[in-house]
């Protein structure tokens, strides 16, 4: 996260140092245009830093190792799923089923350990793959049956949640092997394992977003589906793959969450899709497609977690958290629209 | 005029030869027994009034529609393209009026859309060779005379002329044999139109074959070697741009004054 945070920061610094460069023209204009590309993230990052500083000042407990590692662990699951959500949103899609898929993967993974006595690493992998299978159904409905992503995943939201309750009889699955606890509760030195999982996902998906065919095609499909098709991109196949990846991440998030509470909770992840969508959108992803980054999703997920954590520390009524997050989503999207209007207007002037 | 001579050498085998193409939509005869020929390196304009059948003919040649009757040969082979992709694979690149650009991707990404260069091939996870694409993109834009200040800029913030330039450069790359331009300047202002026309001139100098649909007769006379005129789905005739007066083309298009057309034929 520090690398994504450092980049826009450094640029702002350069501006302050060389105001004379404006007169030279060329490089100034280029930097300004590039800055416009990241400006919504800069805004979100700014908000994140402001909240961080405010909470540090207002609560003595905020800037402690225990609290911050708690924040990171809490944010990890949301952030992992928000990264997948961002990829889906980049293709002009949406996935409402991530909470249900995470719960389904969590309880089925837990049942495999408890009832089928599968070793916990194997059960974890199977749990992740169950998420991937649910994602494949989503992807098939979107890419091949051509259902609107909202409808396809709304259906899966019900199906996955329903299967979760059917398979558990609506009772949490307890008695998981102690070794499994390491995924959600363990530490590598001072760093919580969920944070390491998150960093792994950031590295892999950062690469996928910016350096691979899949990333490039996702942006192309979301930006102009017809153009992508005319240029010979097999859009349906790539859409299926995008939803599969999102399913895998939801399954992974579900397994981490199960490990955190040492049980498979059928109620886990209700409303998780809204946090993931909010995180992606706060981080600059556009629901119209073609726009969104991994670093933005991370910033958004941590912004949401800081708000939740700060509300607890400052004894704010717990129900105000969602109100604040809703406001932040409004502000982030309005800002993004305003910025996009400016870019289009500039194009018409020149 | 030197261009004309170089054409004579290759006149033996036309790039595109269309014979007797007919197409009917319900009760409307969109095209009837249409012939057309485009020589290698030649720039050809297809003109005609609205509904004359220009778009239908272009769609058949680029694989978006299928002819009821007749046939055409491209680069020496008889072809029946089933899709625009198939036409592309055989060397016909189309610049659509909508341009088919991804607004959120930068210039380089758009130039290589669907034909990316890779460092490592791993299916969907193939690793893009961004440096190679940037270098090639710069060379391609230079070759086609398209001026884009910042290759890393998103298409979204660009003017209509720059967008058109990127779309034409993309079509001109990739060793395409013929470029089809559908109303290349219909949506552009005067200055932007001039720039795009310059780009089309550059293609001429490089021997790229162009078939262009245009409403703008001034532009047609400036840019092409041969003008083919469609009226009510029939090919009324072809004239060398250098040997015909605009009035004659106008009367061929409208059919208003056939006599004056015949005088020049």
Q: Going from the N-terminus, what domains does chain A have, and what CATH number goes with each?
A: 61-349 (1.10.3470)
Give pLDDT, residue A169: 95
Nearest CA in chain B to A212: B127
DSSP state of A212: B
Domain B2-102+158-264 fold is Rossmann fold (3.40.50)
A230·B104 Cβ contact <8 A: no
Domain ranges of chain B: 2-102+158-264
Rounded mean pLDDT of A204-225? 97
Nearest by CB to residue B126, choosing from A213, A223, A232, is A213
Helix (DSSP H) and strand (DSSP E) numbers for chain B: 10, 12
> Distance (Å) from the C-alpha of residue B41 to the closest C-alpha of chain A?
24
Check whether A248 has a pLDDT greater than 70. yes
Write down the H helix ranges in A18-91: 21-24, 26-58, 65-90
DSSP annotation of B215 reads S
User: What pLDDT does residue B95 have?
Assistant: 92
Report the distance separating Cα B214 and Cα B50, nearest Å: 11
| B105–chain A nearest CA distance, Å | 7
The total of other beta-carbon atoms located within 10 Å of residue A286's CB is: 21
- Chain A environment of B116 (Cβ under 8 Å): 213, 216
To test the contact with chain B by mutation, choose from A34, A213, A348 the residue with the greatest count of B C-beta atoms within 10 A, namely A213
Interchain proximity B125–A214, CB inside 8 Å: yes
Provide the mean pLDDT of chain A. 88
Pick the closest to residue B230 from B253, B260, B201, B208 (CA basis): B253
- Report the alpha-carbon distance of residue B204 to residue B223 in Å, rounded: 9
Question: What residues of chain A lie within 8 A of the CB of B126, using their CB?
Answer: 212-213
B82 touches chain A (CB under 8 A): no
Amino acid B2: pLDDT = 39
A14 pLDDT higher than 70: no
Write phi, then psi, for B150 (nearest 5 degrees).
-130, 105
Q: Which residues of B105-142 are buried (b: 16+ CB within 10 A; e: fewer)?
A: bbbbbbbbbbebeeeeeeebbbebbbeebbebbeebbe
pLDDT computed for residue A29 by the predictor: 56
10-residue averages of pLDDT along chain B (265 residues): 43 85 92 95 94 91 92 93 89 90 96 95 96 95 89 89 93 87 89 91 92 92 95 94 93 74 42
Give the tens place of pLDDT for each residue, A256-282. 999 999 999 999 999 999 999 999 999
Q: Cα distance from B179 to chain A (closest Cα, Å)?
A: 15
Tell me whether residues A37 and B154 touch, CB distance under 8 A: yes
Whether A211 contacts chain B with CB within 8 A: yes
Residues of B in Cβ contact (< 8 Å) with A212:
122, 124-128
CA distance A238 to chain B (A): 8
Instruction: Please give the structure tokens belonging to residue B100.
Output: 């088919």
Whether pLDDT at A323 is above 70: yes
Q: Does B125 contact A222 at a Cβ distance shorter than 8 Å?
A: no
Whether A347 and B157 have beta carbons less than 8 Å apart is answered as yes
Give whole-number Cα distances, A53 to A162, A307, B110, B140, in Å: 42, 12, 42, 50
A204 touching B, CB under 8 A? no
B102 and A344 in contact by Cβ < 8 A?
no
Share of chain A above pLDDT 90, in %: 77
Instruction: Report ipTM (2 d.p.).
Output: 0.84
Asked whether residue A306 carries a pLDDT value surpassing 80, the answer given is yes
């Amino acid at each position: 996260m520090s690398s994504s945070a450092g980049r826009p920061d450094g640029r702002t610094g350069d501006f302050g140092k060389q105001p004379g460069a404006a007169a030279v023209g060329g490089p100034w204009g280029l930097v300004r245009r590039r800055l416009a590309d990241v400006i919504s993230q800069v805004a979100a990052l700014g908000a994140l830093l402001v909240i961080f500083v405010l909470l540090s000042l207002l609560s003595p407990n905020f800037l402690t190792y225990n609290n911050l590692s708690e924040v990171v662990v809490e944010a990890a699951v949301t952030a992992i799923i928000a990264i997948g959500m961002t990829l889906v949103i980049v293709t002009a899609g949406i996935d409402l089923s991530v909470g249900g898929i995470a719960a389904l993967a969590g309880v089925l993974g837990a049942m495999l350990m408890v009832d089928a006595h599968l070793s916990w690493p194997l059960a974890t992998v199977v749990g992740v793959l169950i998420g991937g299978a649910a994602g494949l159904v989503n992807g098939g409905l979107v890419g091949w049956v051509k259902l609107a992503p909202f409808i396809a995943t709304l259906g899966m939201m019900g199906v996955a949640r329903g299967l979760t309750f059917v398979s558990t009889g609506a009772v949490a699955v307890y008695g998981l092997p102690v070794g499994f606890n390491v995924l959600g509760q363990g530490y590598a030195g001072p760093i919580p394992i969920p944070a390491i999982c998150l960093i792994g996902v950031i590295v892999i998906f950062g690469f996928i977003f910016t350096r691979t065919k899949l990333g490039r095609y996702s942006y192309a499909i979301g930006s102009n589906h017809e153009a992508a098709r005319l240029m010979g991109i097999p859009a349906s196949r790539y859409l299926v793959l995008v939803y599969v990846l999102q399913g895998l991440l939801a399954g992974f998030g579900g397994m981490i969450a199960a490990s955190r509470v040492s049980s498979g909770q059928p109620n886990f992840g209700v409303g998780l899709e809204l946090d993931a969508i909010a995180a992606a959108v706060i981080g600059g992803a556009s629901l119209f497609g073609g726009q969104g980054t991994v670093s933005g999703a991370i910033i958004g997920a941590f912004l949401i977690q800081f708000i939740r954590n700060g509300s607890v520390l400052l004894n704010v009524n717990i129900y105000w958290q969602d109100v604040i997050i809703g406001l932040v989503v409004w502000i982030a999207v309005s800002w993004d629209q305003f910025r996009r209007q400016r870019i289009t207007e500039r194009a018409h002037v020149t | 005029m030197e261009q004309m001579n170089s054409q004579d050498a290759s006149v033996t085998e036309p790039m595109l030869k269309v014979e007797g193409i007919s197409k009917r939509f319900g009760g409307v005869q969109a095209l009837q027994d249409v012939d057309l020929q485009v020589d290698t390196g030649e720039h050809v304009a297809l003109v005609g009034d609205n509904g004359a059948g220009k778009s239908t003919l272009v769609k058949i040649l680029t694989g978006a529609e299928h002819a009821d009757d007749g046939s055409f040969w491209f680069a020496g082979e008889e072809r029946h393209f089933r899709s625009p992709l198939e036409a592309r694979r055989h060397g016909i690149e189309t610049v659509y009026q909508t341009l088919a650009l991804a607004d959120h991707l930068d210039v380089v990404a758009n130039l290589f859309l669907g034909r990316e260069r890779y460092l490592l091939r791993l299916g969907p996870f193939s690793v893009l060779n961004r440096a190679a694409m940037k270098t090639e993109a710069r060379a391609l834009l230079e070759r086609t005379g398209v001026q884009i200040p910042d290759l890393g800029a998103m298409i979204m913030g660009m003017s209509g002329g720059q967008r058109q330039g990127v779309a034409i450069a993309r079509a001109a790359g990739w060793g395409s044999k013929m470029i089809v331009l559908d109303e290349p300047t219909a949506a552009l202002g005067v200055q932007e139109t001039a720039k795009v026309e310059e780009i089309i001139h550059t293609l001429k100098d490089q021997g790229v074959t162009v078939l262009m649909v245009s409403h703008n007769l001034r532009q047609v006379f400036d840019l092409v070697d041969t003008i083919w005129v469609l009226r009510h789905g029939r090919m009324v005739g072809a004239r060398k741009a250098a040997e015909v007066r605009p009035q004659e083309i106008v009367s061929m298009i409208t059919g208003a004054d056939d006599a004056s057309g015949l005088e020049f034929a």
